[in-house]
Structure formats: C-alpha cells, structure tokens
Amino acid sequence: MECSAAAAPKAAPNRHVDPTLTNRFHGCRCFFVWPLSADPRHSQHNLVGIERKDSDAIERMRRSCSLASRVRAFAGSCVQVGRSTDEIDALVHAEVVRLGVYPSPLGYAHFPKSVCTSVNQVVVHGIPDGRRLLQGDIVNIDVSVYVDGFHGDCSGMFVAGEADPLAAHLLKTTRACLDGAIALCKPGVPFSAIGAFIQPMAEREGFSVVKQFCGHGIGRIFHMPPLVFHCGQRQRSGKRRARLTVRSALLSHGVRIHLSLVSAPCMLSALSSPHQ
C-alpha cells in the first residue's frame, strides 16, 4: 500500500491506539533504563546477557520484521516536498493500527509519536513536528512494530525531491557500509568486526562515524544486549552465535555518519541507505 498525496490528515499532538493493542504491549522496555518488573507478564525482562532465540522465536521475529519493513516502505512513500514529518507520522500510525499491530516507539520513555523522523542534521530519534520538508531534505524514518510478543525494528533514509551531490554521496557511502557489514554477519564473527569494517570505509570517503550511538539486540525487548558499535574497538559482547538477532544501527538506526560543511559542524544521518 502506498501513501496517497492527498491523504495527509491533520496533525495531532499525540497518537492513540485501541486499548486492546495497548494491553498486549508489554515488551517496550529499555534494558538499561527501567527496573525489572515483578509482574509475570513482564517476565521476559528478566534476561541476563544476550538472548539466544529458538525456532519459534525466530519465526515470530521474521513476522514482526517483515511487517516493520512493510510499514517502512509505506512511510517512504509518504515523504514529499511540502509535507511535515508530523503528517507522515499520522499516516504511518494509521497504517500500523490498520495492520493490527502496535507502534513500538509510542509511549517508549514518554516518546509521543509512532515513528522517529530525523531530518538533515538530526542524527537519530528525531520527534515528528510541523516543519514542512523542503526540496533536497534527507529524512530517516525509524519504524518499529510490536507483533505477537516480538519487536520488528528497521529504518530507511528517504529524500524529499532530489538529493544534492553531497547528500547523495553520503547515502551511497552509507549503503556500501551497510551492505558490507551485513555480509560479515555469521556465527563466529566478533561483533567488533562490524565497526572495524565501517569506520575505515566511511573515513576513506571523507566521513566519520558518530561514536555516541550504536546498534543493539532486538526481540522480546525493544533494546537489549548486545551493543554493536560502528567504530573499531574491542567489545565484551564476544562473537555472534546462531539464532541471535541484532537490530544494529546498521539495520534500523543505520550507519550514523557526520561531516563538516564549511566551518560549521553539521551532523547528517544516513540510516540504512536510501530506499527507492
């Protein structure tokens, strides 16, 4: 389903979902912020270390991630010059509710919207607002949905109109970093290999990795171990094992790259490459 050019509803300050969906939404907790709950419904938060998933969990992850990818494509079709990110959020929220799933960001650490929209210099987790997109704006849309006990989490970078040469080069470099890092992922490969691959490639193209952000595990909990860095360094997380799902900034937050324009530092985010 594609977003209709005439379908943008009036922006609302907060999003709402059917209470029956809300009551099923127990997994949106950040493993390093909220205390563990004694409520048995939240028993999945009592995880220690990296979660290894069985066959049933892997299949549920496939479904949640497939739906997240579907919603991401819908979100991208909503990006156009003159439309605000708040309107895009409203459209995506309506589509998520139509599919009968829950938008993971909504209410997470009091986040007021159903997607994150990071425009131009915003590195990550931008809150949709009333600013209208201009010709050449690049916008990352971070889409996450909660389905049958598991989160599906991904993001995509889209362009309003046509990208200028510098932005196009940023997106192309990010895509190359993403594809190369994904190709590395297999049992036995250290997590640190991802950052060791990304950082040199970004720097060869005149960019540098934003070290303040990283990727993370995904599954029953929205953010969970391991942390996956995009710069070269040692990590305690060890090596990848079979049946481990990682929602790396490669796959959802994408590769965070920054560069300087003229004399002022300008943070540009390129999240999981441009999507057609």
Q: Could you report the per-residue pLDDT of 9-55, keeping only the tens digit for each?
A: 555 555 655 555 443 443 333 333 333 344 333 334 445 578 888 89
Residue 34 DSSP class: S
| pLDDT per position as a tens digit, 128-137 | 999 999 999 9
Residue 86, pLDDT score = 95
Specify which residues 266 forms β-bridges with: 259
User: Which parts of the chain register pLDDT below 50?
Assistant: 21-46, 235, 237, 241-243, 247-276
CATH code assigned at 58: 3.90.230.10
- Inside any domain, residue 43: no
- Inside any domain, residue 118: yes
Count of the separate structural domains present in the chain: 1
By three-state DSSP, how is residue 33 classified? coil
Helical spans, DSSP H, in 24-159:
55-77, 85-98
pTM: 0.74
Residue 143, pLDDT score = 94
Task: Provide the domain limits for residue 264.
Answer: 54-270
- Inside any domain, residue 17: no
- Inside any domain, residue 41: no
Residue 229, pLDDT score = 87
Specify which residues 30 forms β-bridges with: 223
By three-state DSSP, how is residue 179 classified? helix
Residue 51, pLDDT score = 80
Residue 45 DSSP class: G
- Inside any domain, residue 38: no
